[in-house]
Structure 1
Amino acid sequence: MSNNEAVRPHCAEPPADRTRPALGRRHLAAAALVLAALNLRPAVTSVGPVLEEMRAALGMSATVAGLLTSLPALCFALVGFAAPRLARRHGADGVIAIGALVMTVGLATRAFAPDAPAFVALSAVALAGIALTNVLLPVVVKQRFPDRVGAMTGLYSMALNVGASTAAAVTVPLARGFGGDWRAGLGAWAVLAAVAVPAWFLLARRRAAVAPGVDVPVPATGGSAPDAGVRVGRNATAWALAVFFGLQAGAAYVIIGWLPQMFRDAGLSAETAGLLFAVTSLLGVPLSFALSAVAGRLRNQSGLAAVLAVCGLAGYAGLWAAPATGAWLWAVLLGLSNCAFPLVLTMIGMRGRDGATVTRLSAFAQSTGYLLSMPVPILVGTLYQHSGGWRAPLTLMAALMLLQLVAGLVAGRDRRIG
């Protein structure tokens, strides 16, 4: 018997021994994904319910408020482009850990902003941290859960909606609990952000490669395979994903920034407006997981994209015709339409053949998409200010939803990049 044959029985056990730490890493990664996702939207959704009080205190015009609702798109676009390079140098886990820390600082300090420019600037700090996480979470899913892209995307999309809806529903009661101080209501979300920081730093320290077949190897240099030179900017599917992402993001930020005000202008109370907006996010809690899981099993997601766009069109039509009478129905329809976000995240994970391609595709689709979405909330704010009502802005949103439908049909086709 040769020496190689003699040692085989002794080599049979180490892979099994490595299973426990590998499973531990996967469990830690899953927990970190959920914690990060919980914090992806409170920085934005907490503003809408107290926007009127905040504008009065800071002397903020409607146009600047529209700029504020566009700020997430700007930060996500500019910072998102840098995420792949940072991930190659420091690892996706480490970059997300730093992003969570930056987000915590931004959320904590903007609550003390003395005026509108300071509030906008400190919001940008928080949003820069969120931007890194936005781009890299699909990468972490592809690397660590390549066999469960749809399910894990659904899991963190569900957590994202929990965070968004909780912030929308709880910010006003939190402010009232602190004597009606809107600053306390906004600043409280820094605590939730701080909770996510340790898990990602711990995950970053454990990113060393492991045995093939036990867990997904995550190279110490950054988590993606070596750059294969795939030029996603020249790919039609990548552009369709970017346009679809941008249009759904523009619609989402209009809903986040202006929907509570639409309901308040229709005669509803601030608390009811906050609850109605919370409905749009709460619907995403079960639907994000279910939709991503279903989309992950389909070769073509065009039909799902079309259904969500039709829901958005119906919701805008309802707000145009009878905003107060059918308020709950319009909130439900717009909540369904907002599920385009987990759908496009799932499509990004499925369209790339490997982790390196998903990194580049995620950065391109999200950053380009957010750039495309930037003018939308500003245009809505400007139209609202100059027309004195919501019918002109809602007509614009319906037209953009038709374009989103077309982009979704193209992006949903069974294509692979890389």
Structure 2
Amino acid sequence: MDTPRRVRRGAGWLLALALVLTALNLRPAISGLGPLLEEVRAGLGMGGTVAGLLTSVPALCFAVFGGTAPRLARRLGPITVVAAGTAAITLGLALRPWAPNTAVFLACTALALAGIAVANVLLPVVVKGWFPDRQGTMTGLYSMALALGTAGAAAVTVPLAQRLGGDWRPGLLVWALPAVIALACWAVTLRRGVPKPHPDVLPGAEPAPTDPRPLRRSPTALAMTLFFGLQSTAAYVTMGWMPQIFRDAGVPAVTSGLLLAVIMGMGVPLAFVLPRLAVRLPHQGPLVAVLGVCGLLGYAGLWLAPAQGAWAWAVLLGISGCAFPVALAMIGLRARTPAGVGRLSGFAQSGGYLLAVPGPLAVGALQEATGGWEAPLLLLAALMALQIVAGVRAGRPGLVEDGA
């Protein structure tokens, strides 16, 4: 009996490693682009409106492709779909730097983002089904890896591009390598055999309830969707525009990339701690409120002294950005089974990312119309206040299966 037990334990560790490596690749496609956006625009002849569209493409792809993830998981299994998503990330990141024009660049970006979208939705399902007694720990681990990948891409993309001849293309191409490693780990995992999920329910494969309560009628699900959408808006505006905000304030390009890395890097330690804290709290609303207040203080600092206090505002915005791992933990807490988590994750993430699409576009349009960043910062502050309200409502205890 010892050998099968050791095999199962080894397969579980391999699955956990594959999840963490996948999470590491869920943001470099976006955060690695922000510090080089000005160079990419010049190289491809991209206008300001198209650049604003480029910063909105992630949310749009996450909304469109993320909505298909639960159906694909029911048909093929969540593990297989996450592995296929990792393959799409790898291919998109490998092809994007060779794009000859904006249209091809957008298409390759969309391919990578499609893979990211299904992984976004299904990672909480895998955690619920395969690690039900370690939800906080596993959510923290893969959230920490996600934050590490986000911060790493933001910090080193510009220096890498400079060391590789000063061209933006090698600077983006290098991020295909971590995706190749994650894909190789999935290949080994699938070849050795995926361990069985928790015996209570097989995630993504069980029949749908005969009369499921539509999530659009659940106040908790709607609040979760709004909360997820607003924190996504803040995140993609940060990844797409924050380096430019600092550069326009007189901060050098390399330093702007490092400031974005600080913002994203705050999630490395906090993304491990906060989900574990969230699952222990009976109500996650106070935690959401504290994170939102940090965001409001960061936007106020950018308004008053963007260059002089840049490092302080980066830390505050980084703390605020940890609403994302808290939101992932809350999705797992608001449903009883992996199937319920899959439904809620698909509903909240698809709807939330759809709500986030106009945000980066609006920020770009406001900046272009006013010639400054004051109006965009006012918009972001108003959205942060609304995020606090929605997050406090979504943080109330209750399960969507019970009509919460």
TM-score (norm 2): 0.96
- Quote the Cα distance in structure 2 between the aligned partners of 1:401 and 1:140: 30
What is the CA deviation profile of residues 188-218 of structure 1, one whole-angstrom value per residue up to 9, with x for unaligned ones?
A: 10111111112223434566674xxxx6249
**Hey, what does 1:226 align to over in structure 2?**
207
Question: Letter of the aligned partner of 2:302 in structure 1?
Answer: L
- Write out aligned runs for 1:170-181 (5 A): 170-181=156-167
Q: Are 1:276 and 2:259 matched, yes or no?
A: yes
What is the CA deviation profile of residues 144-187 of structure 1, one whole-angstrom value per residue up to 9, with x for unaligned ones?
A: 11111111101100000100000001111111121101000001
Task: Find the partner of 1:344 among 314, 323, 327.
Answer: 327
1:207/1:406 CA distance change after superposition, 3 Å: farther
* Comparing 368-377 and 143-152, the one that deviates more: 143-152
Residue 225 (structure 1) shift: 3.3
Question: Letter of the aligned partner of 1:154 in structure 2?
Answer: G
**Hey, what does 1:10 align to over in structure 2?**
none
Task: Find the partner of 1:25 among 11, 22, 38.
Answer: 11
Task: Find the partner of 2:31 among 45, 49, 54.
Answer: 45
Secondary structure of the 1:199 match is: helix
Work out which of the two has the higher radius of gyration on C-alpha atoms and give 1 or 2: 1
Question: Letter of the aligned partner of 1:115 in structure 2?
Answer: N
Question: Letter of the aligned partner of 2:247 in structure 1?
Answer: R
CA contact (8 A) 2:24 2:148 kept: yes
CA contact (8 A) 1:207 1:218 kept: no
CA contact (8 A) 2:201 2:338 kept: no
**Hey, what does 2:244 align to over in structure 1?**
261
What is the CA deviation profile of residues 292-326 of structure 1, one whole-angstrom value per residue up to 9, with x for unaligned ones?
A: 11111112100000000100001011101110011
- Quote the Cα distance in structure 2 between the aligned partners of 1:82 and 1:141: 19
Question: Letter of the aligned partner of 1:349 in structure 2?
Answer: G
**Hey, what does 2:400 align to over in structure 1?**
417
1:218/1:185 CA distance change after superposition, 3 Å: farther
**Hey, what does 1:152 align to over in structure 2?**
138
Residue 114 (structure 1) shift: 1.3
1:375/1:192 CA distance change after superposition, 3 Å: same
Unaligned stretches of 5+ residues in structure 2: none
1:231/1:203 CA distance change after superposition, 3 Å: farther
Residue 230 (structure 1) shift: 4.3
1:187/1:218 CA distance change after superposition, 3 Å: farther
Task: Find the partner of 1:83 among 57, 69, 82.
Answer: 69
* Comparing 130-139 and 195-204, the one that deviates more: 195-204
Counting matched residue pairs gives: 399
CA contact (8 A) 1:143 1:224 kept: no
- Write out aligned runs for 1:51-90 (5 A): 51-90=37-76
**Hey, what does 2:279 align to over in structure 1?**
296
What stretches of structure 1 move > 6 A for 4+ residues in a row? none
CA contact (8 A) 1:207 1:219 kept: no
* Comparing 38-47 and 108-117, the one that deviates more: 108-117
1:87/1:206 CA distance change after superposition, 3 Å: farther
Task: Find the partner of 1:187 among 166, 173, 187.
Answer: 173
Residue 364 (structure 1) shift: 0.4
Q: Are 1:135 and 2:121 matched, yes or no?
A: yes
- CA RMSD in angstroms comes to 1.5
Question: Letter of the aligned partner of 2:329 in structure 1?
Answer: T
Identity of aligned residues (%): 58
1:365/1:18 CA distance change after superposition, 3 Å: same
CA contact (8 A) 1:309 1:337 kept: yes
CA contact (8 A) 2:75 2:205 kept: no
- Quote the Cα distance in structure 1 between the aligned partners of 2:156 and 2:50: 25
Secondary structure of the 1:268 match is: coil
Question: Letter of the aligned partner of 1:350 in structure 2?
Answer: L
